Amino acid sequence: MGNEVLSTANKLLIASLVPAMQTLHTALAAVSLDRRIKVSTPHSLGILSTSSPPSTGKFRQGYDVHVLKPLLSFLRATNSPFMINPYPFFGYSAETLDYALFRPNSGVLDENTQRVYTNMLDAQLDAVFSALKILGFTDVEIVIAETGWPSDGDEGQVGVDVESAAEYNGNLREHVMSGVGTPLMPNRTFETYIFALFNENLKPGPLCEKHFGLFQPDLTPVYDIGIMRPTARASIPWSPAPAAAPQLGPAPQQLPKDGKQWCLPQSDAHSDALQKNIDYVCGLGLDCKPIQEGGACFIPDTVRAHAAYAMNAYYQATGGSESDCDFEQTGALTDVDPSYGRCKYLGQ
């Protein structure tokens, strides 16, 4: 419910937060959904007055007893998680980039516990755990409600590029699923949500704020960290239509087997169904300019040719699963590149 409400400094919102959560939980309980749907609210690390070293983590005075303690009591009673938004990106420097990106580094020692931290995320999580310990709520589960790394930013920003973003989110995925946990919370996995699914090209603020997404606004991937659905071969192999049927263009070039696949219409697919596929894909906002008049793939100007480009664009943008090329049984996969002339089909 809400997002980082305590960071707004809006006294009315803050005072209304826990009562609103209780009201929503009561409504869910009334229809027997309270065990399936949990009520919580995410917090930024700004709720901490101290966080370094992690063992000194403490909630901000005033919020600790009057807001967070009642909130944590509610979470415990309803078996709901405490949600936080930790961002090593907002705490790193050029000197600590390896530490922030989970790269090999010499580590940071917490002298109070003699625990060594090899990445910044663990330190942030343990700072929250230490704050929970002061209030007596270490039994409440911690969920990472959002974390991420931008793939682009202002000129001169160190470590703000596609490679670093893919490295952070890829290493994050491996780390939170490993079961290793943190120095103060060993042998745990953490439910984690990556921020964000899409880049936000209209978002105000610094350039980096627009580029946290795994996908562009047109659904094309910025990078893959291993969470997209794997490519699967179609059960019905695609073969080019007979010479008398509408063609996609010049005969596609036979390429070496490199694992790439493309989604194309089945040879018996009806034009009406293929037109629906075009309308669906282009209506999602994917880039259909190449099949518009003057575009590189406009010729041949046939429904089948245009549908081939649109269906493949959708298949590639959504991760390359066999089901993404079904299109109500009008599509099938091929390992023959259908590109011709200036018309280039994405393949993966």
Enumerate the active-site residues: 4, 146
Q: Where are the beta strands (DSSP E) in the chain?
A: 42-44, 48-50, 58-59, 82-85, 108-110, 115-117, 142-147, 192-194, 262-265, 331-334
The whole-angstrom separation of Cα 79 and Cα 56 is: 26
Chain centroid to CA 247: how far?
38
User: For residue 148, what are the CA distances in angstroms to 40, 48, 82, 182, 287?
Assistant: 21, 20, 19, 18, 26
- Describe the crossing of helices 11-30 and 69-77 by its angle, rounded to 10 degrees: 10
Question: For the chain, what is the radius of gyration of the CA atoms?
Answer: 25
Q: Do residues 221 and 214 make contact, with C-beta atoms less than 8 angstroms apart?
A: yes
Inter-residue contact 128 to 52 (CB < 8 Å): no
Percent helix, strand, coil in the chain, to 5, is 35, 10, 50
- Which three-class secondary structure state does DSSP give residue 252? coil
Helix (H, G, I), strand (E, B) or coil at 155: coil
Farthest-apart Cα atoms in the chain, separation: 79
Q: Which H helix or E strand runs over 290?
A: none
With 0-12 / 13-18 / 19 or more C-beta atoms within 10 angstroms meaning exposed / middle / buried, residue 264 is: buried
How large is the angle between the packed helices 120-135 and 69-77, nearest 10 degrees? 90
